[in-house]
Amino acid sequence: MRESWRWYGPLDRIGLQEIAQTGASGIVTALHEIPYGEVWTAEAIEARKRLVANADLGLEWAVVESLPVHERIKRGDGKLDALFANYRQSMANLAAAGVRTICYNFMPLIDWTRTRLRSPVARGGTCLRFDTVEMCALELFMLERGEAENDYPAETRLKARDWYDASSGEDRERLLAAVMAGLPGAYDRYDIPGLRAALADWTGIDAATLRRNFARFLDEVIPAAEDLGMRFCVHPDDPPRDLLGLPRIVSDADDIAFVLGHREERANGLTLCSGSLGANPANDVPAIARRFADRIHFAHLRNVAKEPDGSFEEAAHLAGDTDMVALCGVLLSEERRRRSEGRDDHEIPFRPDHGHELLSDAGRDTHPGYPLIGRMRGLAELRGVMSALSHQGTTFHG
């Protein structure tokens, strides 16, 4: 598997020379500065590609994460022909530059969602955390979204009331800032009135409607991806549950089966995110990987530790609830199968995801969840697992 690393481009506080020292060779990046819906020009793509390669560090732009889907497309809002045309043109420009794997998501309004960005972990360091009580407090008592009464059990609502009553203004600002950290695009952030207004745009859009809009998106882009020789891979919902009254429709094996079954071209694939899927207690991540192995084009390898009330936090890569050894075995077996077929796309890029902030990570103010030392630790652990499995030549069935 190809060791890769998420890099936020010139805005990233972690430099390419540091990334090269981790051993990763594939860069996972995007043109975050370009507003949603606009074309990624050939010139802008080539400039980013040169920036990565000209460091003379053996690095290559391997995966786009993400070529974002405009919110109007997700909502099915108005005439969308120009947005679809722009998206396909961006794909064509990427393919012409030799960048052929695109990770994307179809989460409405907010991308990954956490309530704490630096939650303490044992023996020092911090991690990302999703706390169900805090999320309930935000929805019920800060946003005053009355419908949230139906989304949380009574015990959680009572605890959320207690949290809110005991919280300071600073506590509430920290909570809102943590949730807003998952907003994609040009780093827009909402205050409470702004978030209410943004949510209002989604009124009346349920899971069935969102799924229809997703199907239309696939119909518009997958034939182009197939023609361009691209690998298009949807990222699962993070967390895999409805939030803020917004439906999420890529949360389990059935959802993935719908997405991949709607367009059966090989180009229509999956980003196997073990942390996102692993946050749902009903998901057996290695089993999901086995079921959809031939359509996995990219992998995010991380682990979470779940709690009975639906809360979870990022665990060390080999220490959470998902059997990472079994999962790596599935992915390596799939690579061997592809090699046996003579496929030139047999290699699956992966990146360590959402590491703990450790040691000199503290105070660097890197993107939440994307520190240097914590991810390097995860990469080293994963490298060791894969090396051991590959050395044994094992077709792992765990």
Catalytic residues: 235, 273, 300, 353-354, 370
For residue 44, give the 3-state DSSP assignment.
helix
**Of 331, 259, 268, 257, nearest in space to 300 by CA:** 331
| Rg of the chain taking only CA atoms, in angstroms | 20
CB 182 within 8 Å of CB 246: no
Distance spanning both ends of the chain, measured CA to CA? 19
Cα 318 to the center of its chain, rounded Å: 19
Helix (H) / strand (E) containing 28: strand 26-29
Sheet holding 303-306, edge to edge: 116-120, 126-130, 312-315, 303-306
> CA dist 294 to 86, 163, 313, Å?
29, 46, 30
Calculate the CA dihedral of residues 43, 34, 5, 306 and round it to 10 degrees.
-160
Alpha-helical segments (H) within 24-153:
42-53, 71-75, 81-96, 132-137
**Per residue, what are the HEC states of 143-183?**
CCCHHHHHCCCHHHHHHHHHHHHHCCHHHHHHHHHHHHCCC
Spatial CB neighbours of 19, under 8 Å, sequence gap ≥ 6 = 5, 7, 27, 57, 59
User: Is the Cβ–Cβ distance between 295 and 222 less than 8 Å?
Assistant: no
| Contact between 124 and 85 (Cβ < 8 Å) | no
> What is the distance between the alpha carbons of residues 70 and 132, in angstroms, rounded to a whole number?
28
Rounded to 5°, the CA angle 329-388-324 comes to 40
